[in-house]
Amino acid sequence: MNALGFAWRSLVRQPARAALGVLGVAAVGALLFDMLLLSQGLVVSMRGLLDRSGFDLRVTATDALPGQGPRIPDGVTKADAISRVPSVRSAIALRFARAAVDVDALRDRSAAVQGISGNGTRPWTIIRGRDLSAGAEIVINETTARASGVEPGGRLVLRASCSEDVAAPPPMTFTVSGIASFPFDTATAVTIATSIDMLAAACGTGATRDADVIMVASQDDPGTNAAAADIQELVPDLRVLTNTEAVRRFENGGFTYFRQISAVLTTITVSFAVLLITVLLTVSVNQRLGEIAALRALGFSRWRVVADVLCESSLIVGTGGLLSLPLGGLLALELDRILKRIPDIPADVHFFVFDPSAVRIHLLLLMATAVIAALYPIRVVARLPIASTLRAEIIG
């Protein structure tokens, strides 16, 4: 009987103790798995969201987030120029504004309005109706459509504001051409998009061509980085940001809190698992000192009795670890649902995102747990004095 089989029989011998260990590891492992998912979840989710938006480059006036810094002067002209760069597939200028929607259900809610230039790739997906064409048309998100009861072909009256410096303009009536899904919408966001010229008209700012951001889709060949370099050369006074750089900026900004919290909780859960298994194994070994000493007297090597303990630890942690994956998955779904109630979180962003690397790290941490937890009981059996233990067992 090899060490693994021997360890299995030792565990089966005391099913309650084994079950306690396995369930303890499963619970701790589930928490550990969730912490690992949380540590990268927002970043992975945000990267997916950016990649799905259809644009891989963002051009802004400064390093500030779009809409939070100064605008790009004559951004529409610059977007046109960028769209003609050979490594660029399409480029659009976007301008952000707020608007009041003249509907009872939306009276106390401010709508986010996007004004877009050109006919390139859109930062939204049409669900019903059609996209913008010429004239005073808008696309609205599902929340706006539900609240206003307006469908494609219907009309909405907006009172837009592009700048605090400009006096409130008169309301303007728009025709809803379609219902669209906006990737960065929160669950309750009221979002509207129109052409940048119509937005300027609604704001009463005249034919302004400034933009908050220029969204760029690069050609597959030569790719994102080459397009970024070309654009930077064309507009050296602007900032060009790839999706990867944007994610890195997120990581270095607010998302580090999640990683730090996750690191602290991971350390605590792993420590708890180590203590739990160490205690269980040590109790088990202490109950069997006489048997272990007898085996050594019968010629079992020190390595063999050490391997027995290591295998026992691995079996407990391995079984508990396997159980922890589905358990952690279910827990992550519930925790994600709770965390997504935080205001202003885009509906498509998740805090817990399945990532194969999290499973790999989870398994590595559990393997380390099995080994570290076994160190003390291994020390006990490896240094067990055979003769005096046998004597003590007889006297005892």
Binding region for other proteins (CB under 8 A):
1-2, 9-10, 12-13, 290-291, 293-304, 386-387, 390-391, 393-394
Minimum CB distance to other proteins smaller for 296 or for 350: 296
Minimum CB distance to other proteins smaller for 87 or for 284: 284
Shortest approach of other proteins to residue 7 CB, angstroms?
A: 11
CA distance 40 to 262: 9
Minimum CB distance to other proteins smaller for 2 or for 62: 2
Shortest approach of other proteins to residue 276 CB, angstroms?
A: 22
Minimum CB distance to other proteins smaller for 6 or for 55: 6
- The set of residues, in sequence order, having a beta carbon less than 8 Å from that of 194 and lying 6+ positions away, is 113, 114, 115, 116, 132, 136, 137, 138, 139, 174, 202
Instruction: Please name which of 142, 144, 146 lies closest in space to residue 158, comparing C-alpha atoms.
Output: 144
Q: DSSP labels for 213-236?
A: EEEEEE-TTT-HHHHHHHHHHH-T
Shortest approach of other proteins to residue 10 CB, angstroms?
A: 6
Shortest approach of other proteins to residue 322 CB, angstroms?
A: 23
Minimum CB distance to other proteins smaller for 210 or for 308: 308
Q: Are 123 and 54 in contact (CB under 8 A)?
A: yes
Minimum CB distance to other proteins smaller for 84 or for 383: 383
Both tokens of 139, joined, read 């696309």
Instruction: Please name which of 187, 157, 186 lies closest in space to residue 172, comparing C-alpha atoms.
Output: 157
CA distance 277 to 313: 7
Shortest approach of other proteins to residue 283 CB, angstroms?
A: 16
* Segment holding 17, helix H or strand E: helix 15-52
Shortest approach of other proteins to residue 2 CB, angstroms?
A: 8
Q: Are 240 and 78 in contact (CB under 8 A)?
A: no
